[in-house]
């Protein structure tokens, strides 16, 4: 090899090493909310076309509803593709991802994202918790193009530019990477997007009454989602307001949403303050004003599971393989839920999510505090 060629080879090798280091550092910097991350990654681990019901929306879904409990009690498969504080503008791309891999009989959306101020749509870290976790596709490019400012587009190709400030918290970076790697090799998602905290907040009944909004922006995002549902040929779609510990100052705002949804031929259900109907005790069943704890979840899952069974046509013709897989997942989840309930009784406050199935809970609760 001539000297010139040798030199060129050295530089090519050097450039490749630099590029690899940059890619590793860039990936390592991508810290995310672990629950949202594991729920999204877990969704992609689900065998294709096996889910009958898909829940799409914010943290209310991952805290309030357990797909494996619903499986045990009502025999339908479901998944909570739920991300903390996800803006409603992301629902369309979430639905597209769902429909790419699954053929659900029913899709359920939580309306929380539509009843916030417009600033809710600007929360970059929430937007990115979804967009940076899903694989590259036309849908992802479309969402980036439509929902993020052009000057930030390059950061989706080079995430270090957006996440580099996480050097201040290396722990969360490594935890996120551990979750990503774990979900890459996991058999599947055991908890199917369920996540909770072993805590009961007795002060929930005193929570501040909330003012809600249905802005022009929210209206246009909802209309766009309804149109997309139609374009995709979806016949069974439910828009739901999950139970919350606090009342609304201006509940009449919801009427507009209900009208839009029902005019589009879809179902609407407001359970915000349906405590009696659901059998919820606000002093025991919530871990904070916006989320049910494991006790509340059991009640809500039982109620909603029944409602879905009564009001919608589900396939429920699962293969033996799917049935076995779901039974295995339900068993694993039950063990975790038992542990969580035990913690709740003992006043130990810990976070339980998909990764809890892989990590042994520390003896000392303070190591896993919420």
Question: For 46-135, where are the alpha helices, taking DSSP H only?
Answer: 59-64, 67-74, 91-101, 124-131
Task: For other proteins, give the closer residue by CB, 164 or 345.
Answer: 164
Residue (of 37, 97, 88, 30) closest to 62 by Cα position: 37
Which residues in 227-246 are b (16+ Cβ under 10 Å) and which e?
A: ebbeeeebebbbbbbbbbbb
Residues 285-344 that bind other proteins (CB under 8 A): none
Task: For other proteins, give the closer residue by CB, 167 or 174.
Answer: 167
What is the bridge-based pairing of β-strands 106-110 and 196-197?
unpaired
Task: For other proteins, give the closer residue by CB, 62 or 130.
Answer: 130
Task: Tell me the helices (H) and strands (E) count for the chain, helix number first.
Answer: 15, 9
10 binds other proteins, rule: CB under 8 A: yes
Which residues in 254-267 are b (16+ Cβ under 10 Å) and which e?
A: beebbebbeebebb
Task: For other proteins, give the closer residue by CB, 136 or 167.
Answer: 167
Residues 23-62 that bind other proteins (CB under 8 A): 25, 29
What is the bridge-based pairing of β-strands 106-110 and 53-57?
parallel
Q: Which residues pair with 292 in a beta bridge?
A: 286
Rounded alpha-carbon distances, angstroms, from residue 197 to 92, 173, 333, 342: 29, 22, 14, 12
| Closest approach of other proteins to the CB of residue 153, in Å | 9
Task: For other proteins, give the closer residue by CB, 119 or 168.
Answer: 168
18 binds other proteins, rule: CB under 8 A: yes
Using the contact rule CB under 8 A, the part of the chain among 9-17, 43-51, 267-275, 305-313 near other proteins is 9-17
Residue 200 and residue 285 in contact, taking contact as beta carbons nearer than 8 Å? yes
- Binding mask 79-118 vs other proteins (x if CB under 8 A, - otherwise)? ----------------------------------------
- Binding mask 152-171 vs other proteins (x if CB under 8 A, - otherwise)? x-xx----xxx-xx-xx---
359 binds other proteins, rule: CB under 8 A: no
Task: For other proteins, give the closer residue by CB, 10 or 203.
Answer: 10
User: Given the rule CB under 8 A, which residues bind other proteins?
Assistant: 10-11, 14, 18, 21-22, 25, 29, 124-125, 151-152, 154-155, 160-162, 164-165, 167-168
């Amino acid at each position: 090899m001539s000297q010139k060629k040798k030199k060129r080879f050295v530089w090519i090798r050097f450039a490749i090493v630099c590029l690899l280091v940059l890619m590793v550092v860039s990936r390592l910097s991508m810290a995310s909310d672990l629950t949202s991350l594991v729920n999204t990654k877990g969704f992609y681990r689900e065998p294709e076309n096996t889910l009958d019901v898909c829940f799409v929306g914010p943290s209310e879904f991952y805290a309030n509803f357990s797909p494996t409990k619903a499986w045990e009690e009502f025999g339908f498969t479901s998944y909570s593709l739920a991300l903390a504080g996800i803006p409603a503008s992301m629902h369309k791309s979430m639905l597209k991802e769902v429909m790419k891999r699954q053929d659900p009989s029913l899709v359920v959306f939580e309306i929380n994202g539509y009843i916030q101020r417009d600033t809710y749509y600007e929360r970059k870290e929430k937007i990115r918790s979804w967009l940076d976790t899903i694989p590259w596709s036309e849908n992802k490019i479309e969402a980036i193009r439509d929902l993020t400012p052009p000057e930030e587009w390059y950061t989706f190709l080079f995430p270090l530019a957006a996440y580099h400030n996480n050097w201040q918290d290396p722990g969360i970076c490594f935890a996120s990477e551990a979750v990503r790697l774990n979900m890459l090799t996991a058999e599947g998602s055991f908890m199917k997007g369920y996540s909770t905290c072993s805590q009961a907040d007795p002060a929930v009944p005193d929570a501040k009454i909330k003012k809600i909004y249905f802005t022009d922006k929210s209206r246009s995002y909802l209309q766009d989602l309804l149109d997309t549902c139609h374009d995709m040929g979806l016949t069974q779609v439910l828009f739901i307001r999950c139970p919350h510990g606090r009342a609304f100052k201006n509940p009449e705002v919801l009427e507009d949403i209900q009208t839009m949804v029902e005019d589009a031929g879809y179902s609407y259900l407001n359970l915000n303050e349906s405590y009696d109907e659901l059998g919820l005790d606000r002093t025991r069943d919530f871990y904070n004003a916006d989320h049910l704890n494991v006790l509340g979840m059991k009640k809500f899952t039982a109620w909603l599971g029944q409602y879905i069974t009564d009001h919608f046509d589900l396939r429920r013709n699962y293969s033996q393989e799917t049935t076995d897989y779901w039974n295995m997942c339900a068993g694993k989840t039950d063990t975790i839920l038992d542990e969580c309930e035990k913690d709740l009784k003992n006043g130990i406050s810990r976070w339980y999510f998909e990764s809890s199935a892989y990590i042994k809970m520390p003896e000392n609760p303070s190591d896993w505090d919420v």
